[in-house]
Structure 1
Amino acid sequence: MYSIIRKQSHKKTAIQAVHNHNMRIVIEENVNSKKSNLNEILIGTENTRSDIMSYIKNNDIVIRNKDTVIFNEFVLTASPEFFFNNKDGSKKTKSEYNDNLKEWVKTQIEFLEKENYGKCVNAVLHLDESSPHIHALILPIVDNKLNNKSFWRGKNSYGRLQDIYNASNSKFGLKRGEEKSKTLVDHTTLKDYRELIKQDLEEEKEFYNELSKDILDIPPRKNLIGLEKKYSAEEVKEIASATFKKLNRQRRRAKFRAKKSDEKADAATSEFYKKKKETSKIEFFYNENQKQLEKTIVENSTLKTQNLELKQSQSDLELVKKFLPDELQSLVVRARELASGGDSGGTKHTAEPTPTADLTTYKRPKYK
């Protein structure tokens, strides 16, 4: 059994259509109008437009333009067996059903009042369709401004909604629905979901009407004086044969439709895996580029360190270069003094004043 939540974003122009459905102003085919009196308003009033616009006006919230999303419609429900069956598979009694429903509704109201996704101004419990569910209208308000995008950033934003919702229903033992990547199924919006239901109902109705008309509607016969004329055994056999032929044609049509549906499903699955493969390649190259980037960052850091060391060495060389001429000059003077004092006669010579050393004309003395 699963916890189920659906989301549809709406602009101001959609208020009336949502109101008509939620308050049963317009009754759709999947609604049992005899049970509509069991529906219950949980939050807000019967006036959907007033609930939405009054909150916006009273809190000085600005609707920027006609394309601004002013509310999200959440549909909260669970697998049908959660409401109608016990854990052992047996049907719930009326008392068990009511107690379970009451506790579930209380939990959903608590979830909505936490305002994880904005301010809930209206919520209605529907008990006149196949499974109990709640339609909740939530204004996406952040810092007293309508900001729907802030709630749905990133490809996993809807997944986060499902996680939060499932966590709030954990005490019922309900599971989170499978992720899209595992089920290969796209999320269907409320509008599309309702259209699909209508389309399926119309197709089924058309199929069975045609079946009834072609197969089961055998016209009565009358004789010349107007009395009903019974069919002979041969005629009944012929009619039965024709009936089975028509039934087989219908069966082949149904089989053909099923085959086409399977082909579409196979094509969709093939396209999914193709895109998944392409995505895997992109992720692989992305990871490789990330590794290369990290390697480059390390190398760049090493080069920066080496560059600093080279700059320090250059600074030291500049310092040596600055003081080297003076040192060389001292060495030249010392060398001349040694050369003058080293004659064979041992005669002491007074050293002549030494001019400033010119390194460009200096010649190294030769020693025997």
Structure 2
Amino acid sequence: MAAPQYAILRFAKYKGPEISGIEAHNERTKEKYASNPDIDPSRTHLNFHLIKPERKYRAESEKQIAEAGCRTRSDSVRVVEALITATPEFFKGKKRAEIREFFNEALEFIKQNQAPETIISAVVHLDEKSPHMHLCFVPLTEDKRLCAKEILGNKKKLTQWQDKYWEHMVKKYPDLERGESASETGRDHIPTRVFKQMARLNKQHDKLAELLSDMKFTNYKERSAQIAAFLEKYIPDVAAMETQMKKYEKFFKTADGKQKALEKKNDELTAALEKSEKESTVKKLQEMRLHSDYERIKGILDRIPPEIIRAYTHRDSKTQEVHHYR
């Protein structure tokens, strides 16, 4: 039996400084992407735009907001990103022209439901595991108000977005099935890149633990210098992860209470259950493990001798994050 092919549409809202981060990822403006090993730089030239940005994302959003005469607050959503794709099985055997046709069709769907002139960029990535499109727009309503909440709505409206997206795409691609919305899975979507960041931090944690465990009287000075140097990357990376974890704080507050029930449910899953349901449960468990991993990679800082911390801060006096964790 062939694996199901799902139409996938997800939204993310961005308010300020993080906009430049998603722009760097979407537009591939960085030379290296250590935090995302799935990016294959030798294939980046295959990426293509359906809509090219005329200026920086933040600058374009501020321009449109000003022209619309909208008032903003520091916590106003200025950019909405739609991630548009399908499960990998859908793209198997498809040529570049067929892939472009699929994303053009998806772009038409967005244009029918959001003013085309508000779209900042629509770029298709072919240099990762599965083709996908990042489409960013300024959340201006038809009557020129800045209101992402009205456009994306509550859980019910997000479900309607999923319905409409599938109904639009299935006309041309009848094998596509409707994907799950965040409201149906009972969770907000945590991007894959966050899990990749944590995987990298876990490796760094293990290396740091190895250095700490190997400290002896005979090599103390050498190991101290190595650990202080290692902290120059580790502590900023932990600080960056803290920013991500705060973003999903609401999810993690309810996660602990659900973990045992989900683990029990996962144990009881049988072959009779749909693969998609099993994957959804496993995904939830992965998200909760993310929280415990974060506590682990942060906690090791308490094992570092104070004199090594002082050596680290002396090496880079600008780094202040360490005081936050001790």
Give the shorter-chain TM-score range: 0.5 to 0.7
**One-letter amino acid of the structure 2 residue matched with residue 132 of structure 1:** P
2:48 alignment counterpart: 40
Within 2, Cα distance between the matches of 1:160 and 1:16?
30
**One-letter amino acid of the structure 2 residue matched with residue 10 of structure 1:** Y
2:305 alignment counterpart: none
**One-letter amino acid of the structure 1 residue matched with residue 150 of structure 2:** S
Task: Determine what percentage of the aligned residue pairs are the same residue.
Answer: 26
Within 1, Cα distance between the matches of 2:36 and 2:177?
30
Within 1, Cα distance between the matches of 2:25 and 2:48?
14
**One-letter amino acid of the structure 1 residue matched with residue 166 of structure 2:** N
Distance 1:179 1:114, change over 3 A: closer
Distance 1:169 1:70, change over 3 A: same
- CA deviation after TM superposition for structure 1 residue 2, in Å: 0.2
**One-letter amino acid of the structure 2 residue matched with residue 76 of structure 1:** I
Structure exhibiting the larger radius of gyration computed from Cα positions = 1
Distance 1:102 1:38, change over 3 A: same
Within 2, Cα distance between the matches of 1:55 and 1:198?
33
Within 1, Cα distance between the matches of 2:42 and 2:132?
17
Range with greater deviation from structure 2 (147-156 or 15-24): 147-156
Contact 2:158 2:181 in 1 (8 A): no
Q: Note the aligned Cα RMSD (angstroms).
A: 3.4
2:261 alignment counterpart: 267
Deviations 1:82-106 (A, max 9, x none): 111xxxxxxx2xxx42232022022
2:88 alignment counterpart: 80
2:23 alignment counterpart: 19
Within 1, Cα distance between the matches of 2:136 and 2:181?
25
Q: 1:2 aligns with which of 6, 19, 35?
A: 6
1:162 alignment counterpart: 162
2:61 alignment counterpart: 52
1:174 alignment counterpart: 176
Equivalent position SS for 1:134: strand
**One-letter amino acid of the structure 2 residue matched with residue 75 of structure 1:** L
- CA deviation after TM superposition for structure 1 residue 79, in Å: 0.4
- Equivalence map 1:102-121=2 (5 Å): 102-116=100-114, 119-121=118-120
- CA deviation after TM superposition for structure 1 residue 168, in Å: 1.8
Within 1, Cα distance between the matches of 2:24 and 2:76?
21
**One-letter amino acid of the structure 2 residue matched with residue 54 of structure 1:** K
Contact 2:166 2:177 in 1 (8 A): yes
**One-letter amino acid of the structure 1 residue matched with residue 177 of structure 2:** K
Contact 2:50 2:123 in 1 (8 A): yes
Does 2:31 align with 1:29?
no
Does 2:96 align with 1:98?
yes
Contact 1:2 1:78 in 2 (8 A): yes
2:195 alignment counterpart: 196
- Equivalence map 1:124-139=2 (5 Å): 124-139=123-138
Equivalent position SS for 1:2: strand
Paired residues, what number? 208
Distance 1:11 1:153, change over 3 A: same
- CA deviation after TM superposition for structure 1 residue 68, in Å: 0.8
Distance 1:79 1:207, change over 3 A: farther
| Structure 2 residue ranges without an equivalent (≥5) | 210-256, 266-326
**One-letter amino acid of the structure 1 residue matched with residue 63 of structure 2:** S
Equivalent position SS for 1:107: helix
Distance 1:156 1:182, change over 3 A: closer
Distance 1:205 1:65, change over 3 A: closer
Within 2, Cα distance between the matches of 1:165 and 1:82?
16
Within 2, Cα distance between the matches of 1:174 and 1:72?
25
Deviations 1:97-147 (A, max 9, x none): 223202202202211221347832211111111111111112111211101
Distance 1:10 1:179, change over 3 A: closer
- CA deviation after TM superposition for structure 1 residue 73, in Å: 0.7
Distance 1:204 1:175, change over 3 A: farther
Show structure 1 runs of 4+ deviating over 4 A. 179-183, 201-208
Within 1, Cα distance between the matches of 2:13 and 2:155?
16
- Equivalence map 1:269-284=2 (5 Å): none
